[in-house]
Amino acid sequence: MPELPEVETTVRGLSRVLDGRRIASVEARRPDLRRPLPVDLGQRLTGARVIHLHRRAKYGLIDTDRGDTLIFHLGMSGRWRINPSEIEKHDHLLIRTDDGTRLALNDPRRFGSLDLVPTAQLAEWPPLAALGPEPLDLTAQELRRRLNGRSASIKLLLLNQGIVAGLGNIYVCEALYRARIHPNRPGGSLSLDRLKRLVPAIKDVIQEAIDAGGSTLRDFASPEGELGYFSNSFAVYGREGLACGCGGTVRRIVQGGRSTFYCARCQR
């Protein structure tokens, strides 16, 4: 499931083939993903030159010299394929550049999105404006301020993109494990000392995953198609019933309708 590290890996991969290139053609093969695609997507992108690619939380941002930014979100199952040998089922958007590179955005579950926003108005675009800080920029003091007064579990609060932006289920589970914090702890009750364990744990797990080129669960592949390998490094995620290094056993509970994996012995 693409979280921040997978999106970062995707943006870096796309950057290698898109940065500086002119978009020769755009083909939307269906009118919507989770939302309708911009009706003028092809018209506004065709002929534009890509001048910068970047990322905010789990959004990939492609700036063009026409003053527009193409914003993609990979949802649950989205991935970009570069120079695919053939069009596959669920290739919803096709882009060809002036040097003949072909890109296909493939998203079977269609939880992803595509938007086109004037670059000058990016900061005010509601989905971006609502985001909390990047986890790699976070401090314990800032997180404490954002958790202050919140009674919901730290697990669910870390999934809230308005508090910290870019974390998903996998990396929240892994970060809480590394910080030895029980996922059910009310977020507002965590001491500054515990947040001083948690914030570096978040940064470490995110950075390690970026360095590993993104993890792969079922359906993530970096744009070139090679699989990331961080999933081999999960300490708790998807490991229900297996042993923790402390001698405890990894448990699975459901919070907010989604699975949380943790060790009840070392996470308190």
Partner DNA sequence: AGATATTCCTGGAGGC
Partner DNA sequence: TGCCTCCAGGAATATC
- Of 94 and 131, CB closest to DNA: 131
How far apart, in whole angstroms, are the C-alpha atoms of residue 79 and residue 228?
13
Cβ proximity to DNA: between 167 and 199 the closer is 167
By the 8 A CB rule, do 108 and 92 touch?
Answer: no
Catalytic residue among 44, 56, 58, 251: 58
**Ramachandran angles phi, psi of 67, nearest 5°:** 85, 10
Contact 91, 81 (CB under 8 A): yes
Catalytic residue among 22, 66, 180, 258, which?
258
We find the least distance from the C-beta atom of residue 34 to DNA, in angstroms, to be 6
Nearest approach in angstroms of CB 23 to DNA is 25
Cβ proximity to DNA: between 14 and 48 the closer is 14
Which of 2, 5, 135, 223 is an active site residue?
2
CB-nearer residue toward DNA: 85 or 89: 89
Q: Note the residues at the interface with DNA (CB under 7 A).
A: 1, 3, 34, 57-59, 73, 75-77, 89-90, 108-111, 127, 130, 149-153, 156-157, 159, 161, 168-170, 218, 256-259
Three-state SS at 40: coil
Is 2 a catalytic site residue? yes
* Nearest distance from C-beta of residue 89 to DNA, angstroms: 6
Residue 118 designated active-site: no
Tell me how many degrees the CA angle 59-63-65 measures, rounded to the nearest 5.
170
Cα 60 to chain centroid distance, Å, stands at: 9
* In the complex, least distance from residue 20 CB atom to DNA, rounded to whole angstroms: 28
Do you know the residue count of the chain? 268
Q: Is 193 helix (H, G, I), strand (E, B) or coil?
A: helix
Q: Is 214 left (phi over 0), alpha (psi -120 to 50) or beta?
A: left
58 is catalytic: yes
Is 38 catalytic? The answer is no
* Residues belonging to the active site: 2-3, 58, 258
